[in-house]
Amino acid sequence: MAINYGYNYAMQVSTAEAKNRLTELIRVVEGGEEVIITRHGRPVARLSTTPPETKRKVQLGTMRDRIKLYPGWDEPITEEELLGEEP
């Protein structure tokens, strides 16, 4: 495999080599390196690790005082009112 390290030290491989050696490239990326896939010497794609998933902590009451429900908001309406038709 022809490996070219550019100024940013990322491994560069052609699309044909990437197709033939995808499993090996994934192992390289898992090891912390970045792989740039090139077509005719020009970068077209980058393989890198994904950021770790972080779950946000649920906070209840964060929308309090931001949503206002006016009196009568839950009163039943007719089908005509729903469709915006005049009775």
- Enumerate long-range contacts of 2-9, CB under 8 Å, 24 or more apart: 6/36
Give the closest residue to 42 by CA, choosing from 1, 4, 87.
Answer: 4
CA–CA distance, 28 with 4 (Å, rounded to integer)? 14
pTM of structure: 0.52
Domain locations along the chain:
4-47
State how far the alpha carbon of 83 is from the alpha carbons of 33, 44, 74, 79, in Å.
Answer: 58, 51, 17, 6
Its CATH architecture, for the domain 4-47, is 3-Layer(aba) Sandwich (3.40)
Q: Residue 22 has what pLDDT?
A: 94
Q: Residue 17 has what pLDDT?
A: 95
| pLDDT, averaged in runs of 10, over the chain (87 residues) | 57 94 93 93 92 83 84 89 80
